[in-house]
């Protein structure tokens, strides 16, 4: 009975801890669902999927290394654009913009067992916004003045391309994802809408297989999990830097011109 109670508690935590509060994108659509499902089964690359929602987003073609500095200590993340090109590209793009510098971890869940640390809400830079009110913010594109959202992107194991805008269950796929929620996995938080992730991310503190196929993992902590294990609510990302693989980041021409 204790195991059952714990499992239901963790499911509730997923809804509260990984969701973006009341934040919901007003302009995100799932128009790319059919195209992306076809891509996964036929081997069409993400660059060949012609939906504007995808083509207007940065992509990472390959891998990159990002180092977060927290408590004066490095956390090294290998970002996987091979298996999650849009999700990884979004993260690397935001790191390169300096977006994460100074942001706080606003959710940390370790009881009844290690779960996640979550950050990336831009409201965290405002000292007048208390930590307990964070969790609804998104990245605002300086060119458009609008929030930038990315589609849910999950690549089934051994598939040639990801599924977009659907969980694997919704897509009727029983295979596990290529990138799974093992300890140290880095993934995007989102609301109940599949295509609502923007800037908030979380790091898994333990293996969380029940999240597989529902949330988009895009990398793994390679060094510094001992630092992650000490993170508390309110701790800040002192800096975030792309140390390798920046040449793999491909921005749309308009984005490249707008970025610093």
As given in the structure block, the two tokens for residue 237 are: 């990302």
Per residue in 5-27, pLDDT (tens digit) is 345 445 545 544 565 543 444 33
Q: Which residues of 168-185 are buried (b: 16+ CB within 10 A; e: fewer)?
A: beebebeeebbbbbebbb
Question: For the chain, how many structural domains are there in total?
Answer: 1
Of the chain, the end-to-end C-alpha distance in Å amounts to: 55
Torsion sign across C-alpha atoms 204, 223, 228, 102: negative
213 — alpha (psi -120 to 50), left (phi > 0) or beta?
Answer: left
Q: Check residue 28 and give its pLDDT.
A: 38
In this prediction, residue 125 carries a pLDDT of 87
CB 188 within 8 A of CB 211: no
Strands (E), the chain: 59-60, 63-70, 73-80, 105-109, 116-119, 153-154, 163-164, 185-188, 201-204, 217-223, 239-244, 249-250
Residue 170 sits in a domain whose CATH number is 2.40.100.10
Instruction: Specify the pLDDT at position 131.
Output: 85
Match 């895009």 to its residue by tokens. Answer: 218
Residue 51 belongs to domain spanning: 2-258
Please count the helices (runs of H) and the strands (runs of E) in the chain: 6, 12
pLDDT < 70 regions, the chain = 1-53, 254-260
| Tokens coding 107 | 């959710």
Q: 137, 121 in Cβ contact below 8 A? A: yes
What 3-state DSSP class applies to 102?
A: coil
In angstroms, the Cα distances linking 126 to 42, 178, 183, 211, 245 are 46, 37, 31, 31, 31
| Tokens standing for residue 201 | 């991310």
pLDDT of residue 54: 79
Give the Cα separation of 26 and 211 in Å (integer).
25
Q: In sequence order, what DSSP letters do the residues of 21-44 get, joined into one string?
A: TT---SS---TTHHHHHHHHHHT-
CA distance 106 to 225: 18
For position 136, what pLDDT does the model report?
A: 86
């Amino acid at each position: 009975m204790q195991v059952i109670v714990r499992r239901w508690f963790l499911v509730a935590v997923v809804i509260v801890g990984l969701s973006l509060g009341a934040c919901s994108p007003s302009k995100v659509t799932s128009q790319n669902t059919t195209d992306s499902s076809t891509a996964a089964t036929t081997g069409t690359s993400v660059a060949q999927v012609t939906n504007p929602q995808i083509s207007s987003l940065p992509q990472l073609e390959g891998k990159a290394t990002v180092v977060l500095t927290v408590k004066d200590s490095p956390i090294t993340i290998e970002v996987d654009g091979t298996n999650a090109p849009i999700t990884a590209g979004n993260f690397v793009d935001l790191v390169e913009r300096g977006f994460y510098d100074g942001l706080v971890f606003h959710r940390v869940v370790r009881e009844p067992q290690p779960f996640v640390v979550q950050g990336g809400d831009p409201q965290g830079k405002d000292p007048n916004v208390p930590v307990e009110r964070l969790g609804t913010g998104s990245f605002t594109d300086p060119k458009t003045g609008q929030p930038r959202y990315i589609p849910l992107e999950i690549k089934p194991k051994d598939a040639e391309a990801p599924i977009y805008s659907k969980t694997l269950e919704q897509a009727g796929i029983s295979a596990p994802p290529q990138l799974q929620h093992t300890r140290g996995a880095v993934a995007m938080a989102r609301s109940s809408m599949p295509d609502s992730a923007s800037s908030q991310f979380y790091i898994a503190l333990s293996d969380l297989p029940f999240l597989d196929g529902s949330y988009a993992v895009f990398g793994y902590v390679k060094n510094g999990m001992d630092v992650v294990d000490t993170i508390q609510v309110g701790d800040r990302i002192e800096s975030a830097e792309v140390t390798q693989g920046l040449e793999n980041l491909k921005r749309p021409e308009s984005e490249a011109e707008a970025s610093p």
